[in-house]
């Protein structure tokens, strides 16, 4: 998501259904208390470990 990939692109890369990706994204949003994919992407970039 931090790379700006769509659910379809993520699903193709992971060889899973796009609906499965949607469910995972929803769970991540809920767990982090976010309202959008953009917030997840920003959080991911900010919290990436160096190296």
Longest dimension (CA), the chain: 32
Domain spans in the chain, listed from the N-terminal domain onward: 7-46
CA angle 36, 16, 22 (to 5 degrees): 20
* Residue 2: predicted pLDDT: 54
Tens digit of each residue's pLDDT (9 = 90 or more) over 7-48: 999 999 999 999 999 999 999 999 999 999 999 989 988 998
pTM of the model: 0.76
């Amino acid at each position: 998501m931090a790379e700006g990939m769509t659910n379809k692109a993520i699903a193709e890369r992971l060889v899973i259904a796009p609906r499965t990706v949607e469910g995972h994204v929803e769970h991540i949003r809920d767990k982090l208390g976010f309202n959008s994919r953009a917030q997840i992407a920003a959080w991911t970039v900010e919290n990436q470990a160096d190296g």
